[in-house]
Amino acid sequence: MTAESTRGRFIVFEGIDGAGKTTQIELLETYLRERGRKVFRTAEPTDSTIGRMLRDALSGTVSRTACELAALFTLDRVSHNVDPENGIGQALARGMDVICDRYYYSTLAYQGSETDAKWVRDMNLNCPEIRRPDLCVFLDLSPEESMARISHRNASREIFETRERLERVRAQFYRVWDELPDENVQIADAARSIEEIQTDIRRMVDRLTVNET
């Protein structure tokens, strides 16, 4: 497989806040680069104008309704796919493996638990410019454990980090997995050691084959 002739693999990480996404993504990126792969590491919300609007809403600086948030996250994602310079599509086409911290599963879980879940799902899954990942790794952790891990973070940083809220979002993630039987979602027990989790993830990624689309 050469970078020029085969598109890269599109790998998404999901999990409630503090589940270990950043930690595992960094280790996976190192692993892939050591194996000669080119890697495009990215995240949602993005750093675009829409992404900044979302961060203002997440920090509480600007108040947004659940539907506004769902629509903004989805718009951010469309642009994230099609941007000719920093987009997911161009990176995959150039043979790079794309690792994305959060994707539409987060919108389905976070905003889907706050407003009409079907509307949120349809807007994302029926959009021709939002591509399906080759693999979604869900780092599954209890809200208690995640709160303990992120307790040192700035309390005002985000509006989503309360135990009750994280419990609801985690339950909603499980509903989302039930509703997406055709997607390659792998659930990893994120309460284990960093190394054990990473070993599992590398195995999942090594197994991936790519369809040319």
Among residues 10, 17, 51, 176, the one that binds ligand TYD under rule CB under 6 A:
17
Q: Is 102 in the site for ligand TYD (CB under 6 A)?
A: yes
Span of 3-11, 33-41, 106-114, 179-187 interacting with ligand TYD by CB under 6 A:
106-114
**Residue 133 contacts which entry, ligand ADP, ligand TYD, none (Cβ below 5-8 A, type-dependent):** none
Judged by CB under 6 A, how many residues of this single chain contact ligand ADP? 13
Among residues 150, 176, 185, 205, the one that binds ligand ADP under rule CB under 6 A:
150
Q: Is 19 in the site for ligand ADP (CB under 6 A)?
A: yes
Give residue 58's identity as a one-letter amino acid code. Answer: L
Least Å distance between CB 88 and ligand ADP?
Answer: 19
Q: Is 160 in the site for ligand TYD (CB under 6 A)?
A: yes
Q: Is 87 in the site for ligand ADP (CB under 6 A)?
A: no
Q: How far apart are CA 37 and CA 30, in angstroms?
A: 10
Q: How far apart are CA 73 and CA 130, in angstroms?
A: 12
Nearby residues of 100 by Cβ (< 8 Å), 6 or more positions away: 10, 11, 12, 13, 42, 43, 44, 88, 133
Sign of CA dihedral 158, 163, 165, 169: positive
Q: Which is nearer to ligand ADP, 26 or 56 (CB)?
A: 26
Q: Is 158 in the site for ligand TYD (CB under 6 A)?
A: yes
DSSP for 51-106, written as a single string: HHHHHHHHTTSS---HHHHHHHHHHHHHHHHH-TTT-HHHHHHTT-EEEEES-HHH
Q: Is 21 in the site for ligand ADP (CB under 6 A)?
A: yes
Give the CA angle between residues 55, 191, 45 to the nearest 5°.
15
Q: Which is nearer to ligand ADP, 6 or 151 (CB)?
A: 151
Site residues (vs ligand TYD, CB under 6 A) = 17, 21, 44-45, 58, 73, 101-102, 106-107, 110-111, 158, 160
